[in-house]
């Protein structure tokens, strides 16, 4: 679907030279990850080696993909950059806003109506600025990307944490915030700390009940939800080559659950077969031409311990199917031990719902193998005891598996096909009775199973497994059922056993689709107008932030001194606020409402220095803003940790906060603040945090000579007339100081456009 073959040719053309330069700079054989990263340096061919886990490096990604919830602010910001077209191929995918209730058709119609203004906006911006637009119903971002855009050796960023799914086709694909997407679309480089490398050697071959999902369920058990932080996980070995491209995609997708930056497999015959099957034989041909660069060097894989920071080995021939959970994806149980765990922990053994599909597990292989079990249920007169839903990852997969009869088979088993969208996976599930908050169990082939994620009920015990295991357990209606060893009693009272699932990696008749749901952008979008209603409460066009006034900042009021953890969730809460992701004014009403006031230990209550009374944080700040008074937020350690959500930086900037002064920052949030033209400062002496008093009026001195590495001074004018002057640090480089002066990075881009 309009993938850019010319772009791929250009990327591949520079590979040999860049790999040679990288080998010279690094002075040893290279992993696949290093090859791709060094081939995408924004400086061009490498002139130096970068230190893993230390160096911050600028990259030049080949593509950007955005889902509809995060695309709104990314595109609103992009519109501020003054560009007529996106600088790299980019796409928007409408998948997160469709609620699952009764079934695909009705749910989709309802969503189109409910989210019309958001869809119209995204469609018109895409049309104007040259982005591919995938309509609601077209499918889930990662599946659509895998089918259409992912290519071996490429580099992509996406505004969704499961962007790594494209690693299944050998792409370094990384989840980012909207501000990063905006920068890359505007032609700026993208910065990443050079990752550490975890090697996973796969030997043997999958068989029987085991599937690719079990590899990542096992890896999650080994590494836990934090084990991959700051690292790229590279899979290799004969076992890796035996997996289908979509199976590899599943493994990379769920690598997000171990905190990995991304995961990747090398290019092999399975990749070529998938590319050919999805009408991209020309990409496979190009990849064949540089195949030696699309995998790690032989020496690396022969002695992985020398070249990776950590190595794990898994024998696929010995791997058991796994069930992970509840409430966390790293609690891994081999199926043979799961029944005992259910009993010992008192988890509800009765299985209420089995849900297959999602971006993680809705390949042709997944669906055909699950359908083989559904067919057995029908043939063996087994009535499925649990509810059962199927979420296809794309219209192409849905159409193809429908053509091949699998959806009909699921229907005979009592399955309900949901829209090609995120649905229950992101809590868009109008689950009947969930509001009663009863203790119950569900099992999904999705990737995340945190409390409340699927249906909002904190007592729903959610487990994760392969589509095959989900289907078998849904037939049994019982979490303690082990399909490898146990039998079931059918309608005739006869004891029957399920045979091993079987399926096909790729459809023998090829993929098919009537309307994939794609909208090609206008050749020349200059006359396209972007649709945003001025009365909308969900969308609001952005105004440029004001440039710095050229003086020191004096008389700032302390808005809040936050105590302890202050994550991006504390600064800009999710949940019901997601609705306002595209409306900066409205979403700003959640600014810092989760932060703990250091003077009172209360949340969302701060002293308004103009009135002397306590009020909500956003309302207090709006009062300062209305009176033309700037303010300052003081925080503790690792301020802004959590996500890359740019709203956490935009909201204070929008409401008139002038500086965030903390003991230390989470780096992504610090960068986001800088991009929005905000001052992000740290106490030179962290103990000075204690000097800040509730009624302080604060000056920031030294801005007229603001320079890299040079401290600024903060004057704390206390209410009793005493004064403390403290030194504060910053990490602004020359370019970032220009962002501050211009009012934001986008203002600067616009000025240069």
Question: Angle at the Cα of 544 (from 578 to 554), degrees rounded to 5?
Answer: 100
Q: How far apart are CB 71 and ligand F3S at their closest, in Å?
A: 13
What distance in Å separates the CA atoms of residue 614 and residue 595, rounded to the nearest whole number? 15
> Given the complex with ligand F3S, which of 67 and 590 has the nearer CB atom?
67
What distance in Å separates the CA atoms of residue 114 and residue 98, rounded to the nearest whole number? 9
> What is the per-residue binding string for ligand F3S in 532-561, x denoting contact by CB under 6 A?
------------------------------
What distance in Å separates the CA atoms of residue 380 and residue 24, rounded to the nearest whole number? 63
> Given the complex with ligand F3S, which of 417 and 692 has the nearer CB atom?
417
Establish if 426 lies at the interface with ligand F3S (CB under 6 A): yes
- Known catalytic residue at 63: no
What distance in Å separates the CA atoms of residue 449 and residue 330, rounded to the nearest whole number? 10
Q: How far apart are CB 180 and ligand F3S at their closest, in Å?
A: 18
Stretch of 180-188, 418-426, 630-638, 649-657 lying at the interface with ligand F3S (CB under 6 A): 418-426
Q: How far apart are CB 427 and ligand F3S at their closest, in Å?
A: 8
The token pair that represents 40 in the structure block:
């995408």
What distance in Å separates the CA atoms of residue 433 and residue 226, rounded to the nearest whole number? 34
Q: How far apart are CB 740 and ligand F3S at their closest, in Å?
A: 35
- Known catalytic residue at 4: no
The token pair that represents 106 in the structure block:
């009705």
Contact yes or no for 273/152 (Cβ under 8 A): no
Q: How far apart are CB 330 and ligand F3S at their closest, in Å?
A: 16
C-alpha torsion 669→670→675→681, nearest 10: 140
Establish if 422 lies at the interface with ligand F3S (CB under 6 A): yes
> Given the complex with ligand F3S, which of 160 and 505 has the nearer CB atom?
160
The token pair that represents 547 in the structure block:
């440039």
- Known catalytic residue at 448: yes
Establish if 633 lies at the interface with ligand F3S (CB under 6 A): no
Annotated catalytic residue, options 68, 160, 180, 404: 160
> What is the per-residue binding string for ligand F3S in 435-454, x denoting contact by CB under 6 A?
-----------xx-------
> Given the complex with ligand F3S, which of 66 and 591 has the nearer CB atom?
66
> Given the complex with ligand F3S, which of 161 and 717 has the nearer CB atom?
161
Q: Write out the binding residues for ligand F3S, residues 79-118 only, by CB under 6 A.
A: 95
Beta bridge partners, 351, equal 441
> Given the complex with ligand F3S, which of 284 and 454 has the nearer CB atom?
454
Stretch of 198-206, 404-412, 420-428, 654-662 lying at the interface with ligand F3S (CB under 6 A): 420-428
Establish if 397 lies at the interface with ligand F3S (CB under 6 A): no
- Known catalytic residue at 579: no
Establish if 376 lies at the interface with ligand F3S (CB under 6 A): no
Nearest to 232, CA basis, from 198, 272, 280: 198
| Residues contacting 355, CB < 8 A, separation 6+ | 388, 389, 391, 424, 442, 443, 444, 445, 446, 454, 470
Establish if 358 lies at the interface with ligand F3S (CB under 6 A): yes
Annotated catalytic residue, options 126, 386, 572, 643: 643
- Known catalytic residue at 643: yes
Give the burial string for 486-514 (b: 16+ CB within 10 Å, else e): eebeeeeeeebebeebebebbbeeebebe
Alpha-helical runs (H) found in 164-268: 178-185, 212-223, 238-242, 245-254
What distance in Å separates the CA atoms of residue 738 and residue 557, rounded to the nearest whole number? 25
Stretch of 259-267, 271-279, 313-321, 419-427 lying at the interface with ligand F3S (CB under 6 A): 419-427
Annotated catalytic residue, options 280, 448, 538, 581: 448
Which residue in the block uniquely carries the two structure tokens 């794309």?
394
Q: Write out the binding residues for ligand F3S, residues 137-176 only, by CB under 6 A.
A: 140-142, 160, 162
> Given the complex with ligand F3S, which of 434 and 691 has the nearer CB atom?
434
The secondary structure of 284-340 as a DSSP string is HHHHHHTGGGGS--HHHHHSHHHHSSEEEEEETTTPPPEEE-SSSTT-EEEHHHHHH
> Given the complex with ligand F3S, which of 181 and 426 has the nearer CB atom?
426
SS3 753: coil
- Known catalytic residue at 647: no
Annotated catalytic residue, options 18, 40, 62, 95: 95
Chain residues that interact with ligand F3S, rule: CB under 6 A: 95, 140-142, 160, 162, 358-359, 422, 425-426, 446-447
Give the active site residues: 95-96, 160, 448, 643, 645
């Amino acid at each position: 679907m309009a993938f850019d073959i010319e772009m791929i040719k250009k990327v591949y053309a520079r590979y040999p030279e860049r790999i040679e330069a990288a080998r010279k700079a690094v002075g040893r054989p290279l992993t696949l990850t290093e090859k791709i990263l060094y081939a995408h340096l924004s400086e061009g061919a490498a002139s130096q080696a970068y230190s893993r886990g230390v160096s911050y490096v600028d990259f030049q990604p080949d593509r950007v993909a955005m889902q509809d919830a995060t695309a709104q602010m990314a595109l609103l910001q992009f519109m501020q950059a003054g560009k007529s077209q996106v600088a790299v191929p980019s796409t928007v995918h409408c998948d997160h806003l469709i609620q699952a209730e009764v079934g695909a058709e009705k749910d989709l119609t309802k969503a189109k109506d409910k989210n019309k203004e958001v869809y119209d906006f995204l469609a018109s911006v895409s049309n104007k600025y040259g982005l591919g637009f995938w309509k609601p119903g077209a499918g889930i971002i990662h599946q659509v990307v895998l089918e259409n855009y992912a290519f071996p050796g490429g580099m992509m960023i996406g505004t969704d944490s499961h962007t790594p799914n494209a690693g299944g086709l050998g792409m370094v694909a990384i989840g980012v915030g909207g501000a990063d997407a905006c920068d890359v679309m505007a032609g700026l480089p993208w910065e990443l700390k050079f990752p550490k490398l975890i090697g996973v050697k796969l030997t043997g071959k999958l068989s029987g009940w085991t599937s690719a999902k079990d590899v990542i369920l096992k890896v999650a058990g080994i590494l836990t939800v934090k084990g991959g932080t700051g690292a790229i996980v590279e899979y290799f070995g004969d076992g890796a080559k035996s997996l289908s491209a979509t199976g590899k995609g599943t493994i990379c997708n769920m690598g997000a659950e171990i905190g990995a930056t991304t995961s990747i497999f090398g290019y092999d015959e399975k990749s070529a077969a998938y590319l050919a099957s999805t009408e991209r034989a020309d990409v496979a041909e190009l990849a064949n031409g540089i195949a030696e660069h699309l995998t790690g060097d032989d020496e690396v894989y022969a002695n992985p311990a020398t070249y990776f920071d950590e190595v794990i080995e898994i024998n696929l021939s010995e791997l058991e199917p796994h069930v992970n959970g509840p409430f966390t994806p790293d609690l891994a149980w081999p199926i043979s031990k799961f029944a005992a765990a259910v009993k010992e922990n008192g988890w509800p053994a009765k299985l209420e719902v089995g849900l297959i599909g999602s971006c993680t597990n809705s390949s042709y292989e997944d669906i055909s193998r699950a359908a083989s079990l559904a067919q057995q249920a029908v043939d063996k007169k087994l009535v499925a005891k649990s509810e059962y839903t199927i979420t296809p990852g794309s219209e192409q997969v849905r159409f193809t598996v429908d053509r091949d009869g699998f959806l009909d088979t699921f229907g005979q088993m009592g399955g309900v096909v949901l829209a090609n969208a995120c649905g229950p996976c992101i809590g868009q599930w109008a689950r009947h009775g969930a509001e009663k908050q009863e203790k119950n169990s569900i099992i999904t082939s999705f990737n995340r199973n945190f409390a409340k994620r699927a249906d909002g009920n904190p007592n729903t015990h959610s487990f994760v497994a392969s589509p095959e295991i989900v289907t078998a357990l849904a037939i049994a209606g019982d979490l303690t059922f082990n399909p490898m060893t146990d039998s079931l009693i059918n309608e005739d009272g006869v004891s029957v056993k399920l045979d091993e699932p079987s399926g096909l990696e790729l459809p023998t008749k090829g993929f098919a689709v009537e309307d994939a749901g794609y909208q090609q952008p206008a050749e020349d979008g200059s006359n396209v107008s972007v649709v945003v209603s001025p009365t909308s409460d969900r969308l609001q066009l952005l105004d440029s932030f004001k440039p710095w006034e050229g003086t020191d900042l004096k008389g700032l009021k302390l808005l809040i001194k936050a105590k302890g953890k202050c994550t991006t969730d504390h600064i800009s809460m999710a949940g019901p606020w997601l609705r306002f992701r595209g409306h900066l004014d409205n979403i700003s009403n959640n600014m810092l409402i989760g932060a703990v006031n250091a003077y009172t230990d209360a949340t969302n209550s701060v002293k308004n220095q103009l009135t002397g009374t306590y009020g909500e944080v956003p309302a207090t700040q709006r009062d300062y803003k209305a009176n033309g008074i700037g303010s300052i937020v003081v925080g503790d350690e690792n301020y802004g940790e959590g996500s890359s959500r740019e709203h956490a930086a935009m909201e204070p900037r929008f409401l008139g906060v002038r500086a965030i002064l903390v003991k230390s920052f989470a780096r992504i949030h610090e960068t986001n603040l800088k991009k929005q033209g905000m001052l992000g400062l740290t106490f030179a002496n962290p103990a000075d945090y204690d000097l800040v008093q509730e009624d302080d009026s604060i000056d920031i001195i030294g801005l007229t000579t603001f320079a890299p590495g040079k401290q600024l001074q903060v004057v704390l004018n206390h209410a009793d007339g005493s004064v403390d002057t403290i030194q504060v640090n910053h990490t602004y480089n020359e370019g970032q100081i220009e962002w501050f002066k211009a009012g934001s990075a986008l203002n600067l881009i616009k000025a240069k456009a």
